[in-house]
Structure 1
């Protein structure tokens, strides 16, 4: 069962870089994975920047900004190739989303459990 009726917005922009159709398709495929894992994502913005002044291993920077219900999430990755930067960025954001999901789940379960210390028995009413 696919939830294709939800509206997820993806914005891809290049800074000092022309976005090729293959790069746009690659970003779309990677973003689809994030949208599948987290249904509360409203908007996902990706900026790919090329800086020829940097050393070769840090020429491409991929920045991601996820607007989600709650605090927004931001991440940045620097590498030597644009596709690799996008891949690393989506992996990093996926880890952040999973961590956030686990934290919310633990917090929800922790709040529902009664706080009893060792040897304490609740008084009958």
Structure 2
């Protein structure tokens, strides 16, 4: 699994990097078929002189790509919101995969009609 964490208009400190990696461990515990994780942390400046912290992630799975993003006044709050959204998406994909599995022939009930 490749993890890429980048910062746009933001100095990426080791504390921020460790925080993001710690939060991403939660995702990889739920789902082990992750190929690549790309996290982009940025600061957007708005005309009203309001600073907005933005966190977005692209999670490449085997055969699928998930995207989540969140904005907040605090970078750590934006990261937490992004991880919550991504966690819900991963659990949904995992549930679809598990529901799609076929019952084994040994465990299926005999569906042949009985003659009376």
Please, what TM-score do these two structures have when normalized by structure 1?
A: 0.76
Please, what TM-score do these two structures have when normalized by structure 2?
A: 0.81
Q: CA deviation at 1:53?
A: 1.6
Instruction: List structure 1 runs of 4+ shifted beyond 6 angstroms.
Output: none
Residue 69 of structure 2 corresponds to: 76
Residue 20 of structure 2 is aligned to residue 23 of structure 1:
no
How many corresponding residue pairs? 109
Residue 3 of structure 2 is aligned to residue 10 of structure 1:
yes
Residue 64 of structure 1 corresponds to: 57
Residue 35 of structure 1 corresponds to: 28
Q: CA deviation at 1:107?
A: 2.5
Unaligned runs of 5+ residues in structure 2 are none
More strand by share: 2
Q: CA deviation at 1:103?
A: 1.5
Going from structure 1 to structure 2, the CA distance change for 1:40 and 1:61 (only over 3 Å counts) comes to same
Q: CA deviation at 1:11?
A: 0.7
Going from structure 1 to structure 2, the CA distance change for 1:54 and 1:34 (only over 3 Å counts) comes to farther
Unaligned runs of 5+ residues in structure 1 are 1-7, 115-120
2:76 match: secondary structure: helix
Residue 47 of structure 1 corresponds to: 40
